[in-house]
């Protein structure tokens, strides 16, 4: 039978979600903890991959086991042995065919920038003394909703069948020194969110124009877009699934 597990993590100490050789990852920590507690080999399948240093306020994975479990007890035990920067929030049974990655309807990210210097947010924001124009960046961000192909923002040598994504939200909001970019789409390409932010920042600083931004998207060329902003400011904040997958 199949279960979904909902978790949160601070990605600062990890080389992303996906298990790999000679690197500490969230998937590795979760696999090990589940295998110990359930006394069988468990391999969780995540909703996607987050890169090194990226955080998740909501992340889902699924795993299969032969016997039913006591969800609340397993949550308690997992949180007792997992590192303190990984927290399990929920475990629930789903349809046998439900898939944490392929059944996701939408994903939402936030990119958090602190305008200035704040020692308490050093590992959770990109801190900069730059003062980009929020109005200009929102004008450009609104254009993202008109496009589908975002190859120009994708990491090179990515093995995907399509570069098409449907973006339903892309907006900047500022409150005091905190500047946050909110973006929601049905799927994201590798490095896409951070590359979009880096390019929008260039617009906010007057380095490129709105017309340049259109040209960059239509070029489908990663080298035309801006640099990727640092990972510590990026948070996966929400993943939505159809209700029918839950038993």
pLDDT digits (tens, 9 = 90+) for 56-102: 999 999 999 988 999 999 999 999 999 999 999 999 999 999 999 99
Q: How many CB atoms lie within 10 A of CB 76?
A: 11
The answer to whether residue 211 is catalytic is: no
Residue 94 confidence (pLDDT): 97
d(CA 110, CA 233): 8
Residue 147 confidence (pLDDT): 97
Q: Do 134 and 174 contact (CB within 8 A), yes or no?
A: yes
Residue 15 confidence (pLDDT): 95
Q: Give CA torsion, residues 195, 162, 59, 72, to 10 deg.
A: 180
Structural tokens at position 12: 């600062």
Quickly list H helices, 39-149. 71-81, 134-143
Of the CATH numbers 2.40.110.10, 3.30.70.580, 3.40.50.300, 2.10.25.10, which one belongs to the domain with range 2-102? 3.30.70.580
Q: Tell me the fold of 106-238.
A: Alpha-Beta Plaits (3.30.70)
For the entire predicted model, the pTM comes to: 0.95
Residue 21 confidence (pLDDT): 86
d(CA 111, CA 91): 27
In three state form, how does the secondary structure of 121-189 look? Answer: HCCCCEEECCCCCHHHHHHHHHHHHHCCECHHHCCCCCCCCCCECCEEEEEEEEECCEEEEEEEECCCC
Q: How many CB atoms lie within 10 A of CB 88?
A: 20
Instruction: Write out the chain's pLDDT in tens, 247 residues.
Output: 999 999 999 999 999 999 988 899 999 999 999 999 999 999 999 999 899 999 999 999 999 998 899 999 999 999 999 999 999 999 999 999 999 999 999 999 999 999 999 999 999 999 999 999 999 999 999 999 999 999 999 987 777 889 999 999 999 999 999 999 999 999 999 999 999 999 999 999 999 999 999 999 999 999 999 999 999 999 999 999 999 999 8
Look at the chain and count its residues: 247
d(CA 64, CA 66): 7
């Amino acid at each position: 039978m199949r279960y979904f597990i909902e978790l949160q993590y601070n990605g600062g100490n990890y080389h992303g979600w996906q298990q790999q050789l000679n690197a500490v990852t969230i998937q590795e920590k979760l696999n090990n903890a589940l295998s110990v507690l359930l006394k069988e080999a468990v391999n969780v399948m995540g909703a996607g991959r987050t890169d090194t240093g990226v955080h998740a306020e909501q992340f889902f994975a699924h795993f299969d086991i032969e016997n039913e479990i006591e969800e609340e007890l397993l949550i308690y035990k997992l949180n007792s042995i997992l590192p303190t920067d990984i927290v399990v929030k929920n475990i629930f049974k789903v349809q046998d065919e439900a898939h944490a990655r392929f059944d996701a309807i939408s994903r939402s990210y936030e990119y958090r920038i602190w305008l200035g210097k704040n020692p308490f947010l050093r590992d959770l924001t990109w801190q900069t003394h730059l003062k980009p124009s929020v109005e200009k960046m929102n004008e450009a961000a609104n254009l993202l909703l008109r496009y589908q192909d975002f190859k120009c923002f994708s990491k090179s040598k990515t093995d995907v069948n399509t570069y098409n994504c449907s973006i339903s939200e892309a907006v900047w909001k500022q409150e005091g020194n905190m500047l946050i970019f909110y973006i929601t789409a049905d799927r994201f390409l590798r490095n896409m969110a951070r590359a979009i932010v880096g390019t929008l920042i260039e617009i906010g600083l007057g380095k490129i124009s709105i017309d340049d931004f259109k040209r960059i998207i239509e070029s489908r060329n990663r080298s035309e877009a801006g640099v990727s902003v640092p990972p510590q400011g990026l948070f996966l904040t929400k993943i939505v699934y159809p209700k029918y997958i839950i038993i």
